[in-house]
Structure 1
Amino acid sequence: MVSVKQFQVTFDCADPERVARFWCEALGYVVPPPPTGFATWDDFDRTLPPEHRGSAFACVDPSGVGPRLFFQRVPEGKTVKNRLHLDIRVGTGLVGEERVAALESECARLIQLGAARVRLLRADGVNESCLVMQDVEGNEFCLD
């Protein structure tokens, strides 16, 4: 049997810090401390060659349980639907209108952070309701 490996989820984006800070707020993650010898990430960033400044940012689960999220600047913009997306579990154990109310409440909070609502997918007898959204750069995710 293969042992479980640690992993991180990497986002390609135009503005790594902006997207990372959105996901910190959305998930309750935090920005890790800067490398040893630097008081801030800005101090560290200024030591990089100009073409690498602002090119990456990360956030971590403060409990150490969830994966690290890494955000890297890429030159091309997003053009198609994500092949992978995050599901934020806000309605676990809830059904019907109680579940929809929990999804809508979290949706409202995330819209205040810059997310966009795409559509509510109502329960269909097989799957419970979920709400499709986009982060600050248009990456799809679901509230479920």
Structure 2
Amino acid sequence: MRKAIITFALLSSILLSGCSILDEVNSSLEYVNEATEHINTWQDFGEEAPQMIQEAATDANAKEELETRLNELLVEIEEFNGTEAPAIAESVHQQIVEKNEQIKGVIENAMVDGEVALEKLQDSELYTLINEVTTMMNLLEELGS
């Protein structure tokens, strides 16, 4: 009877630790997917932004669309930065959060009374920072494999 109880306890602990590992793997994959989506958002904006800024210089509606997009990106930054990263991804997450904060600063600096100051945005390091964020995709791919 005693052997049966000990065997049952050992099997239970092995199964529970296996579930814990599976949970960590699932959590890591979910994080990689979320971070990849976040980086893709920046990559898309980086491709669209030059044209949006150029159009905003001569079209009030385009400027309003740009302002709306920038405000959406600020919300995206806050949401992503609040994401809890699994232990295996903490370093990558911290790097993305740091770049997000720099981008947030650039966007906020380019906004004056809720309106975008196009020259400030054009003269900023926004594109450089976006490129730096998108290069982190390689780190995520390593985590996902």
TM-score, scaled relative to structure 2 = 0.28
Question: Which protein is bigger by CA-based radius of gyration?
Answer: 2
Name the structure where strand makes up a greater proportion of residues.
Answer: 1
Name the structure where helix makes up a greater proportion of residues.
Answer: 2
**Structure with the greater relative contact order (CA < 8 A, sep ≥ 6): 1 or 2?**
2
